[in-house]
Structure 1
């Protein structure tokens, strides 16, 4: 399981905007489970569970981690693709047809002192570049530092 999934499309955002699906994600994060296991725990129809699981699966929020055959039935065990799910900060700023060619995201693994130095250098860079704000051929960008948790 990845540490972080950054949602970068509206279909994914919609799929995790349902409180019931968040409940399912929480349950699946504890331990991979089948739709039947979830239905039994929540005491609701399996069809309702499978509808929501299929929406999460279709939008790559969960995935099948294993399958088992039981009484000639293939059981699929699901888990979230990541421990945390966050929307891209600029997701709602773009119309569907607008390109995001300048957008990028990186995962960095560093020590606390390296992060401190990185932030210092970034602040200096931002200060220097903001002095050039009125220059020709410049654009505004947003840089975000987001901790993605401990392992």
Structure 2
């Protein structure tokens, strides 16, 4: 796994515009997982998750690291291709689409809800960071 993959291509940004894909990518930076394992961790059905995993793989953000036969099927283990995936500076300046920002905020909201549930409403100190991105006006 590389340390960093700079998001330069539009397909990278489109792939990460969905909050579930951001959560999947986050999990796959920690350890390889199968589609079924990801579904259990995220409480999402494997068929629904399969679509999003394929989108991340097609964009080159995740890869198959091993395949193992199990019960007549082959389980594929996926892993993120990099630990960190920042936006390239030129991409920040040319992004015309708020989907990535909205997807990021929704993923953050979902993680906050999960943490609140896990800690029964008594969440330990949390830190949030944000970066100002100026988007050109679309007329």
- TM-score (normalised: structure 2): 0.63
Q: Which has the higher contact order (CA 8 A, sep 6+)?
A: 2
Rg larger for: 1
Which 4+ runs in 1 deviate beyond 6 A? none
- 2: CA distance between counterparts of 1:37 and 1:56? 16
| 1:67 is the counterpart of 2:67 | yes
Which ranges of structure 2 fall in alignment gaps of 5 or more residues?
A: 96-139
**Structure 1 position 54, deviation (Å):** 0.3
Corresponding residue for residue 9 of structure 1: 9
Aligned length: 95
Q: Which residue of 2 aligns with 1:34?
A: 34
Distance 2:42 2:66 in 1: 22
TM value normalised by structure 1: 0.58
In structure 1, list runs of 5 or more residues that go unmatched: 96-151
SS at structure 1 position matched to 2:89: coil
Note closer, same or farther for the CA distance 1:66–1:9 as it changes in structure 2 (3 Å cut).
same
What RMSD, in angstroms, separates the aligned Cα atoms of the two structures? 1.7
Of Structure 1 and Structure 2, which has the larger fraction of its residues in helix?
2
